[in-house]
Amino acid sequence: MVPKISTLSGYLHEYQKSIANPTGFWENIAESFYWRKKWTDVLQWDFHKAEIKWYLGGKLNITENIFERHLFLRGEQPAIIWEPSNPEEASRTFTYEELFSHVKRFANVLRSHAVKKGDRVAIYLPMIPELTIAMLACARIGAIHSVVFAGFSANALSERINDAGAKILITADEGIRGDKIINLKETADEALESCPTIKSNIIVKRTGSPIDWNNRIDYWYHEEMEKVNDEAIAQEMDSEDPLFILYTSGSTGKPKGVMHTTGGYMVYSAYTFRNVFQYSSGDIFFCAADIGWITGHSYIVYGPLLEGATTVMFEGTPTYPTPSRYWEIIEKHQVNEFYTSPTAIRSLIALGQKWADNFELKSLRVIGSVGEPINEEAWHWYHDHVGKNRCPIVDTWWQTETGGIMISPIAGVIPTKPSFATLPLPGIQPIILNNENEKLCGKSVEGNLCIKFPWPGMARTLWNDHERFIQAYFSQFPGHYYTGDGVRRDEDGYYRILGRMDDVINVAGHRLGTAEIENALNEHPLVSESAVVGYPHKIKGQGIFAFVVCNDLPAKDAGEELKNSLLKGVAKRISPIAKPDVIIFTRSLPRTRSGKIMRRILRKMVEGNTDFGDVSTLTNPDIIQEIQTKVLENLEK
């Protein structure tokens, strides 16, 4: 097991050590794992070329660190407790021994479909145990998994499959979330019409509803599992061999295939899991995220299982059948650490506090928040009504690209402050830069959050596009990794994340590029251009505000019908989660003489700000008043 910090002085000591001698620090943590061959060099890096390598020459398989390493002590211990969406359906438990057997079988299924080391496997599954099994089976044989969130549309799925060049797709007949059924096979079939690299589509039977069948490529998961045994030797991997790709949104339209490698990600996800949550053997850990996002990868699957934990995997939503669902699960499975998003907390606050107050939640020791800034009201409610004034909140700041938690309290060790992610974890060296690339020293400063030294869990590249990796993260502030976030460091040296500084918005904890949404709107034949910005939203943190200009259609004539058709278009192009909350039609958008849309002004408008700064460079200043009137009308609604 990785070493655990348990006191504030211990944290300060470890932090100092990790800065004075980063390679010695991370070498020591990596010693906790099972390596078939030890590394020859701990780190090589160059932030200008964005080349980062950890544990060079080390050979391992991450699943040997999950299974073989734990079986002797934990074979009988639950690895996964799966809780279905419908509480009347039985939960399912997989011990480490059982999970291992499923993983090996499925590894053999993949091998029987000619999947080899380095091949990409796309996984489009709901929150069912087969999702974890499929990921670990890929890791067992050295295939690179690319999990696509089951809420994404056919277009979004095919775009991701094609970018990765995936050979196999794994999906389900249908998914269940609360009172909704998601037609995954149908969506996957539509996506596969334009995915020539897919040779097999393996389908897990979740609901048993009738589905269309394509004899050429479709296979039932359960039938394939019957054909193989559960002896599957792990593929030897280099530390720097890819483990997975996970697509995320950036400031341009095309999603970015963030690539993580084996050795560093393993060390980092396990280290941060144990320390931030202060996980102890025998605890039950419940992360309520979806595995389709990085939070689920690192803190439902890899971090917990690497540390021999019992991880709860929940198929449903916090409000189905009632807003007590999380609290029921916590009591039913005696959960010790619980991890969710500010949006989930806010939506539960809105439904009334009695739901949480009816439960004692005695087993809970630590509660966590992730994905977006947590406002003070939500922080206090979470602390008082869920944590019952006794559980520390870990407000964890990190990103798909960072692989694991970066700035966060260590539960019960670092004193918390509402809405502050507090201090960097050992090994993490944040730096705040102003727009002129100058370092802002000391306390009480605000600027761009960068990291100046590598850590093992960081992404190594964007799939097939290293140039974009350099451009996106290492070019604005040369020599540093740029997070895209703004941050304030207060008088205590504590970090408070202010939100994205780029054209990325964070809607209900989902990261979306405004350009992606604009592209989807612009596909409509009546739309000539659009601009999308985020605006403060009571529940979702940020809502989506779209300004649309139509071809040959005066803005006053564009009505509900067109709005609905635009919303449908966005859901189809990306996902229902990307649908704008507000659409307004306008004659034109504020533009500079060089033709650029002045989003800064639109952003200020939707924040209710009336001081737009210097507008003298606009070609059409008269449009501002007109747009502003419409914005105000809509914000009041």
143 versus 451: smaller Cβ distance to ligand PRX: 451
Q: Quote the CA–CA distance of 554 and 536 in Å, as a whole number.
A: 29
Contact 612, 576 (CB under 8 A): no
- Please say which residue, 239 or 483, places its beta carbon nearer to ligand PRX: 483
Name the phi and psi angles at 261, rounded to 5: -105, 175
Cis ω before 321 (30° cut-off from 0) = yes
**Residue from 8, 485, 83, 462 nearest 284 by CA:** 83
What is the size of the binding site for ligand PRX (CB under 6 A)? 23
Residue 573 beta carbon to ligand PRX: minimum distance, rounded to whole angstroms: 19
| CB burial of residue 411 (10 Å; 0-12, 13-18, 19+) | buried
Contact between 396 and ligand PRX by CB under 6 A: the answer reads yes
Question: Does the footprint of ligand PRX cover residue 371 (CB under 6 A)?
Answer: yes
Q: Residue 27: is it exposed, middle or buried by C-beta count within 10 angstroms (0-12/13-18/19+)?
A: middle
Q: How far is the CB of 498 from ligand PRX (least distance, A)?
A: 8
The answer to whether residues 449 and 432 touch, using CB atoms and an 8 Å cutoff, is: yes
Which residue bears the tokens 């019952």? 388
What string of DSSP letters covers 209-268?
Answer: ------TTTEEEHHHHHHTS-S--PPPPEETTSEEEEEEE--SSSSPEEEEEEHHHHHHH
Which residue's CB comes closest to ligand PRX? 400
**Cβ proximity of 408 and 397 under 8 Å:** yes
Q: Minimum distance from CB of 341 to ligand PRX (Å)?
A: 8
Judged by CB under 6 A, does residue 506 bind ligand PRX?
yes
Specify the residue, 498 or 555, whose C-beta has the smaller distance to ligand PRX.
Answer: 498
- 315 contacts 127 by C-beta, under 8 angstroms: yes
Among 188, 203, 267, 421, binds ligand PRX (CB under 6 A): 421
Position 398 contacts ligand PRX (CB under 6 A): yes
Report the C-alpha dihedral over residues 411, 416, 419, 420, rounded to 10 degrees.
-90
Q: What is the DSSP string of 71-107?
A: HHHHTTSEEEEEE-SSTTSPPEEEEHHHHHHHHHHHH
Stretch that binds ligand PRX, among 70-78, 104-112, 207-215, 393-401 (CB under 6 A): 393-401
User: Nearer to ligand PRX by C-beta: 295 or 448?
Assistant: 295
Give the residue with the Cβ less far from ligand PRX, 85 or 542.
Answer: 542
Applying CB under 6 A, the span of 35-43, 288-296, 472-480, 585-593 interacting with ligand PRX comes to 288-296
Q: Which two tokens stand for residue 305?
A: 């299982």
Q: Report if residue 295 touches ligand PRX, rule: CB under 6 A.
A: yes
**Residue where the block lists tokens 């969406």:** 85
Using the rule CB under 6 A, is 294 a contact of ligand PRX? yes
Work out whether 612 is an interface residue with ligand PRX (CB under 6 A). Answer: no
- Return the residue of 400, 461, 519, 542 that touches ligand PRX, per CB under 6 A: 400
Kindly tell me which of 314 and 398 has the beta carbon lying closer to ligand PRX.
Answer: 398
- Residue 474 interacting with ligand PRX (CB under 6 A): no
Q: Single out the residue of 14, 64, 83, 395 in contact with ligand PRX (rule: CB under 6 A).
A: 395
Query: Residue 35 or residue 338: which is nearer to ligand PRX going by CB?
Result: 338
The residue behind tokens 């034949």 is 525
Q: Can you say whether residue 593 is alpha, beta or left, with left for phi > 0 and alpha for psi between -120 and 50 degrees?
A: alpha
Q: Does residue 248 belong to the site contacting ligand PRX (CB under 6 A)? A: yes
- Is the CB of 153 or the CB of 399 nearer to ligand PRX? 399
Least CB distance to ligand PRX at residue 249 (A)? 8
462-494 burial, b for 16+ CB within 10 Å, e for fewer? bbebeebbbebbbebbeebbbbbbbbbbeeeeb
Q: Does 454 bind ligand PRX (CB under 6 A)?
A: no
Interaction of residue 511 with ligand PRX, rule CB under 6 A:
yes
Interface segment toward ligand PRX; rule CB under 6 A; list 39-47, 114-122, 212-220, 483-491: 483-491
Exactly one of 372, 503, 516, 518 binds ligand PRX (CB under 6 A); which one?
372
Under rule CB under 6 A, residue 278 binds ligand PRX: no
Output the smallest distance, CB 395 to ligand PRX, in A.
Answer: 5
- The tokens of 604 are what? 């200020």
**CB nearer ligand PRX, residue 412 or residue 499:** 499
149: helix, strand or coil: coil
Q: Which residues would be at the binding site for ligand PRX (CB under 6 A)?
A: 248, 293-295, 370-373, 395-400, 421, 483-485, 497, 499-500, 506, 511
